């Protein structure tokens, strides 16, 4: 059994929060990204992370809970970056401090600080590794995985974040939540082992730019499919032919439309999830290396590590085969 401790009241609260929220990447996406990232780490750091894989997995959606359920005022802009509204790329501030000096708080709240916040999180995680602060390492690493996951959702990098500028409302949650819920069981989420980023700033912006390059094609594919599909096939309709609303008062997409869109996207969601896993593991690993490669073996009891030894080997084998989250693909 992996080591995971959280007070029962907190578990109940988070479960309640997750129950009524539409979360970015959905619970399915964020949890799979963080869990698979643990399996992509080098052994030198993987053993410690695996001892706490349950926590790192379940903590993956907590930043969204802070944003929606707790209404934490500073949380919202950490999840996106409306690139088009910041001008030319060569004028982007290099740090969050520079961004706050260049733009007012209202602008940043509306347009986001995601790339700069990822770099700030890396500074904090590196310090936590240096200090060998077990709790800080785990909380910061799990949260960082969430923001890196968001940085791989194309519409988190676009001002047209929900197709609201092109009459495609609802595309955001359809792409990042509904499609993974329906099709993640078929995803192969084994990725190469984490790599060290020589330049964290460059790695962060390369990631953001790569993700943003997909926004236009994502919207174009959905637009083409919507215009060629009758409305009663795009959305769920009731007996009177009226479009059914979700509990969030948005039109409910049909499973048939979701399946067609998933096919037309040609693996985009799975590909972005794989990139997010690889990047998450690499950012964690880079923070540890930059901290001087501290020995983490003493942060947990010898008994805990020994107890998890066989489970780690078993899960590593499943991960390498692409079956960490189930055997559904066995006959593909």
| 30, 23 contact by CB (below 8 A) | yes
Q: In the block, which residue shows the tokens 């996207």?
A: 265
pTM equals 0.91
Average pLDDT over residues 275-283: 98
Extract the tokens encoding 175: 């792409």
Extract the tokens encoding 60: 């993956």
Q: Residue 10: which pLDDT band, with cuts at 50, 70 and 90?
A: very low
Average pLDDT over residues 145-167: 97
pLDDT at 315 over 90: yes
Q: How far is CA 109 from CA 75, 103, 158, 173, 313, in A?
A: 9, 10, 14, 21, 44
Average pLDDT over residues 249-269: 94
pLDDT score of 21? 43
Average pLDDT over residues 315-322: 95
pLDDT score of 2? 59
Alpha carbons within 13 A on the beta-carbon side of 270? 17
| 13, 319 contact by CB (below 8 A) | no
Average pLDDT over residues 101-122: 97
Q: Residue 3: which pLDDT band, with cuts at 50, 70 and 90?
A: low
* Domains of the chain and any CATH numbers: 25-186+196-321 (1.10.575.10)
Q: How deeply is 62 buried, as exposed, middle or buried, from its count of CB atoms within 10 A (0-12, 13-18, 19+)?
A: buried
pLDDT at 5 over 50: no
Summarised one tens digit per residue, pLDDT across range 187-237 is 999 999 999 999 999 999 999 999 999 999 999 999 999 999 998 999 999
pLDDT score of 14? 44
Summarised one tens digit per residue, pLDDT across range 41-98 is 999 999 999 999 999 999 998 998 898 777 788 999 999 999 999 999 999 999 999 9
């Amino acid at each position: 059994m992996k080591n995971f401790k959280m007070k029962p009241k907190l578990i109940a609260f988070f479960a309640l929060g997750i129950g009524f929220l539409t979360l970015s990447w959905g619970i399915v996406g964020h949890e799979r990204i963080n869990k698979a990232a643990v399996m992509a780490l080098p052994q030198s750091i993987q053993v410690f992370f695996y001892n706490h894989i349950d926590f790192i997995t379940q903590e993956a959606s907590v930043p969204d809970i802070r944003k929606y359920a707790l209404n934490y005022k500073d949380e919202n802009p950490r999840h996106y970056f409306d690139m088009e509204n910041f001008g030319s790329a060569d004028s982007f501030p290099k740090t969050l401090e520079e961004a706050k000096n260049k733009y007012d708080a209202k602008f940043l709240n509306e347009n986001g600080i995601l790339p700069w916040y990822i770099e700030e999180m890396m500074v904090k995680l590196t310090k936590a590794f240096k200090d060998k602060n077990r709790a800080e390492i785990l909380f910061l690493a799990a949260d960082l995985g969430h923001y890196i996951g968001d940085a791989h959702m194309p519409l988190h990098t676009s001002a047209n974040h929900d197709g609201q500028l092109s009459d495609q409302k609802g595309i955001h949650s359809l792409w990042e939540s509904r499609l993974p819920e329906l099709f993640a069981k078929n995803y192969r989420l084994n990725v190469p082992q984490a790599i060290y980023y020589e330049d964290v700033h460059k790695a962060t912006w390369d990631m953001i730019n790569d993700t943003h390059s997909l926004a236009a094609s994502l919207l174009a594919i959905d637009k083409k499919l919507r215009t060629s599909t009758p409305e009663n096939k795009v959305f769920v309709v009731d007996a009177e032919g009226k479009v059914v609303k979700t509990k969030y008062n948005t039109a409910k997409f049909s499973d048939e439309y979701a399946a067609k869109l998933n096919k037309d996207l040609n693996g985009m969601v799975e590909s972005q999830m794989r990139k997010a896993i690889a990047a998450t593991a690499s950012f964690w690993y880079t923070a540890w290396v930059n901290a001087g490669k501290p020995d983490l073996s003493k942060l947990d009891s010898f008994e805990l590590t020994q107890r998890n030894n066989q489970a780690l080997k078993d899960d590593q084998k499943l991960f390498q085969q692409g079956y960490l989250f189930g055997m559904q693909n066995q006959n593909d």
